[in-house]
Structure 1
């Protein structure tokens, strides 16, 4: 059995690559570490975005594990242009997985890159892995495993959030485990 803890980063001060955790986000990162005390994590893979790394840093330090940075876990780029109606545009991409805006990536493209990471983790050792990413990418992965996962489910994700993916006998199930 493979256990993959899919983690959305803690509260941050914006969306930029260098955006850091807020004061609340720093507390959440420590809460996240405490949440994992009873769980066995043997490997940590994270988006290179500062807020993702900071979210998992306390756990990595306690467990004395390196944080492996993985570019395929980065925030999804909806568009390279400023979209004042980004929320509506994002919702459209949940309805049309091939929809793509200027300089952005479609839901299919974003989903494929996180699915690749999961497939590699499933084929590797160890069996207990924490993966830190961003809300939209997390939602797309969950939709990959359960077609009913929707835009409304994405809206319900919290910062942080944790889902446990269990992989056994070519079957993947998931469950939200964050409090």
Structure 2
């Protein structure tokens, strides 16, 4: 029996240091959330899940309301914690060290640690909610690491081409990823 997971990368969010968990969406992000809802509302979603971060929740909130479901929050789907201090040019560090899964900055977590905790949620969902259609509000790096666990072709190049928001439909047979299809089209009307 196939289980479908819709990975929904959060919509555009203003970056403000120190507001990682609470920052919301930009005006464009709010407009794009309506498009996310339009794309997914006819998919027959059974379960709506999210990272605890506001921008991820807000990106699937319209969908949850439209299909009449509560959003289940999973702490282990949170964004990767990069470091205990502000890192100048964090994106260049992410790019340079992406494939060194054990590398972490002082006080932060590695890609391996982030992947391990987030994939544990996916495995649990695949076992306990087999045959369901599950929408997950997530983050670009976490989404890439989860997909990378099941197919190593999803790496840095994939991360670099993601949009905010973005939607990928993953079809699983038991714990095996069978198919991936991109649903997001930024020009969607």
TM-score bucket of the superposed structures, by smaller chain: over 0.9
Say if 1:93 and 1:107, in contact at 8 Å, map to a contact too: no
Say if 2:150 and 2:176, in contact at 8 Å, map to a contact too: no
Helix, strand or coil at the partner of 1:140: helix
Q: Does 1:85 align with 2:86?
A: no
Structure 2 counterpart of 1:112: 116
Give the alignment's TM-score, normalised by structure 2: 0.90
Give the alignment's TM-score, normalised by structure 1: 0.94
Aligned partner (choices 91, 98, 102) of residue 102 of structure 2: 98
**Stretch of structure 1 that moved more, 1-10 or 160-169:** 160-169
Structure 2 counterpart of 1:177: 183
Q: Does 1:149 align with 2:154?
A: yes
**In structure 2, do the counterparts of structure 1 residues 169 and 17 end up closer, same or farther at CA, with 3 Å as the change threshold?**
closer
Structure 2 counterpart of 1:158: 163
Matches within 5 A, 1:42-81: 42-81=46-85
**Stretch of structure 1 that moved more, 113-122 or 147-156:** 147-156
Say if 2:46 and 2:133, in contact at 8 Å, map to a contact too: yes
Say if 1:48 and 1:69, in contact at 8 Å, map to a contact too: yes
Distance in 2 between residues matched to 1:47 and 1:6, nearest whole Å = 11
In structure 1, stretches of 5+ residues that fail to align are none
How many residues matched? 179
